[in-house]
Amino acid sequence: MDRFALILVIIGALNWGLIALFQFDLVASLFGGQTTFLSRVVYGLVGLAGLYSISLLFRERDKTVE
């Protein structure tokens, strides 16, 4: 689950970077606009992944014993 959330957060970050630098929304262009069902699903999943990723900040890290 952590890896899936990280992938979605990366997709969201790259999309925001493209919007900031080039005014190009990759998700919207792939799925036919910002208001289409598929775009909204992707945006929603990215948002949920971001919320889930907040929990990663507060988890204990596994320490490896050498």
pLDDT per residue, tens digit, the chain (66 aa), is: 999 999 999 999 999 999 999 999 999 999 999 999 999 999 999 999 999 999 988 888 776 666
Max Cα separation, the chain? Answer: 52
Long-range contacts of the stretch 34-43 (C-beta < 8 A, 24+)? 42/11
* Predicted local distance difference test score (pLDDT) of residue 48: 97
Measured from the Cβ of residue 35, the count of other Cβ atoms closer than 10 Å reads 8
pTM over 0.85: no
Separation between Cα atoms, residue 55 and residue 66, nearest integer Å: 27
Compute the residue count for the chain. Answer: 66
Residue 45 has φ and ψ, to the nearest 5°, of -65, -40
With H, G, I as helix, E, B as strand and everything else as coil, classify residue 23: coil
